[in-house]
Structure formats: structure tokens, C-alpha cells
Amino acid sequence: MRDREQAGVTRGARLSRRNFVAATAAAAAFTIVGRDVLGGPGHVPPSEKLNIAGIGVGGRGAGDLDAVGSENIVALCDVDQRQAAATFKRFPRAARYKDFRRMLDREDKNIDAVIVATPDHVHAVASMAAIKRGKHVYCEKPLAHSIYEVRRLTEAARQAGVATQLGNQGQASEETRLVCEFIADNAIGAVREVHSWSNRPISPRGIDRPKDTHPVPEGLDWDLWLGPAPKRPYHPCYLPFTWRGWWDFGTGVLGDIGCHQMAPIFRALKLGYPTSVEACSSGVNSETAPLASMVRYDFPARSGMPPLKLTWYDGGLMPPRPEELPNGLRFGNADDNLCIGETGKMLGHRLLPEALSKEYGKPPRILPRSPGHHREWIDACKGG
């Protein structure tokens, strides 16, 4: 399909799902045939599919679109045509845009829901634009670039009554449920201490802004990529994924991975706001995240649970190796959690010591299992 911004194609030539339903309302007098009769088990009739648009469709956005492939992908927007090329090819019937504002204006009646997978600094403005138009929104993590933006988005979504989902896929995982069920069953006793870490070399850290300049590559609209961020010259050190370490665009390792890594802990231990936070790092830089950091959160007692100290590590920093971990076994993964209870420990969802793990087995299954992270959002959009 041609780029609609360049070709000037209007919506009038398209028949949206809403228009189709309205135009054929008279057919309700006929017998309604179930989906299983028409398409077999699991088949979704076209009239029951969502019309979804993607904002930021290279990289993570491409995976999100594949995960909602049961629905209609009607419009795609990306400021970097090089990164988006493969996704454009996979969805040849979708309208193509570089500016999400223009896409939302032109495709308003064709879109039910929007997936936002841009760099962090654009999450809030793109999501807010969609919410204000009454669109359901799936936004990749972290939800926004600041606490202020998060609160504004939360308020807007509540007022609009739309279905929203944060791209924290681990919340739908079996591991998260096992962690919650072990804690709920008191498998390691009362938990007063948790360590969480990530050692991924995601992006440049602890460096200053480059002084040299480079021409903007063909296919990249640098002004649109900057969006609400302060203007600066293009430099290849920011793209395609290294923007995560630059404060104007990303949120560092803690913002990028911490929301994944600590989510099961917050859920299992019913954590809310901390009473205090203390941080230290390998230097402070106004341009990029530090090479390494350690952050300690103190949480008050919660309904039947004692006060808790949660410590975050990145950049190669880690807590001491637990004595109960057998020699020869790796101390967790690149991203992992260690819960320390009064009667045992839990590394990820593995109980320590080994004798406790063998004796205990699996916890009682008390939580419903997820049909899939993206499936939950689709069902919520449809009122499920």
C-alpha cells in the first residue's frame, strides 16, 4: 500500500468495521449464524475483529503487532522507514504514516485500538493522543518518561473508559504466578528482604553528549523522532536501540528492565509506595544513566506482612551469593530476584535450600492462568 501521507488517500474509499456494521443492521432480521459454523473453532468473524493501529512498528512494536495478528492491522506509523520496512511488508494492506498525529486524524473512524512501541520519551504523547480519541491503548513499558506523565495518562484513561495494557509481558507468565503462590503459601516464611538485578549491557552509559554531527540517514525523520524531547543534532549513537541510556529519550536500566523484574515482587508482596529510597551510583551524568547503580527501597508493613527492604542492582552489581545455592550452579540469570524469608529463600521461583525445594514441590494453584498478555488486552477491548 502506498504511504497515505504522500499519496493523499482519504478515508472515504475504505469501509470501516463500524460503517459495515451500521450499513448492514437491517440484516439482523435474518438468522444469526455462530462463528464456529462459519469458520471452525477459534475462528473470529471479520465483524468481531478489532481494527488496530501501530505507532512505532520496528523492533518491539513488530513483535506486539504479530501478537495481535488475530485482529485487523489497519494502519502503521513509524518515523524510521528503515526499521519499519519489514513490518510494512508483513502488513501490505495497512495504511502507512510517519506522523502519528496525522494517522489518528485521518484514520480516526477506522481505528478501535492503538499499540504504542516508540522510544520512552514519546510513550505519553502518543498514548494520550489515542486515549483522547477514545481508542484502547497498549503501551510498551515503561508507561511514560516521568511520574507526571504516568499520572496524567492514568487519569485520562479512567475518564475515557478505554481498555489499557502496559507491555509488561511477564505479568502473564507462569513464573509470576508461581512466585505469588509460593509467597501466599508461606513457603519461605515472612519475607523482609528482596534483591533484584539486571546485568544487561543495553545501551551506552556514563558518557557525555557527542560533539560531532552526522547527516540524517535517508528514511529517518529526525524531527519527528525527537518529538517532545529537546532539539539536538542527529548522531548514530542514539539509534536504533541505544537511546535507552540517554535521559532525554530513555529511563536507564532501572526504567527499562526494573518494571519487568520487580513486577512479580510488587504483586506477590503487595507493595505500594516506599517510605524511603536511597540510591548510589558510579558517578552522576546529566546526559546518560550511570555505568552501575544500587537503589534501596524501604516499604512499611502491609496486611499481615512485615516491613521490607528491596534493593535494586545494575551494571554488574549483585547481592552476595546465597550459601544455600549448590556449588556449580549459576547464581540466577542476567535479570533475577532473590527473596529472603525467615525459613528459606527463593531465587526466581526456585526454593532454597535444595532440600526445601524437593520437600515442598509446587505451591497450591490459587491464581487463574493467563491466556496470553496481548490476548488479555484484546479481550478487555471487546468488553471481556
CATH assignment at residue 262: 3.30.360.10
**Whether residue 94 is found in the same domain as residue 242:** no
**Whether residue 176 is found in the same domain as residue 46:** no
- Model confidence at 3, pLDDT cuts 50, 70, 90, reads low
**Whether residue 352 is found in the same domain as residue 338:** yes
**Whether residue 15 is found in the same domain as residue 36:** yes
**Whether residue 161 is found in the same domain as residue 176:** no
Domain tally for the chain? 2
Write the pLDDT tens digit of every residue in 322-381: 999 998 888 988 899 999 999 999 999 999 999 999 999 999 999 999 999 999 999 999
**Which of these three, 167, 189, 219, is where a domain ends?**
167
330 in any annotated domain? yes
**Whether residue 248 is found in the same domain as residue 306:** yes
**Whether residue 136 is found in the same domain as residue 44:** yes
**Whether residue 193 is found in the same domain as residue 340:** yes
Nearest to 162 by CA among 355, 12, 368, 377: 377
Give dist(CA 216, CA 223) in Å, integer. Answer: 10
Full residue range of the structural domain in which residue 102 is found: 4-167
* DSSP reduced 3-state for 17: helix
pTM above 0.75, yes or no: yes
Q: Is the distance from CB of 298 to CB of 307 less than 8 angstroms? A: yes
Residue 330: per-residue pLDDT? 87
**Whether residue 50 is found in the same domain as residue 129:** yes
**Whether residue 186 is found in the same domain as residue 163:** no
DSSP run (H or E) holding 23: helix 17-23
Residue 7: per-residue pLDDT? 42
Going by C-beta distance under 8 Å and a sequence separation of 6 or more, which residues neighbour residue 124? 143, 144, 145, 146, 149, 150, 152, 153
**Whether residue 128 is found in the same domain as residue 193:** no
**Which of these three, 167, 183, 213, is where a domain ends?**
167
264 in any annotated domain? yes
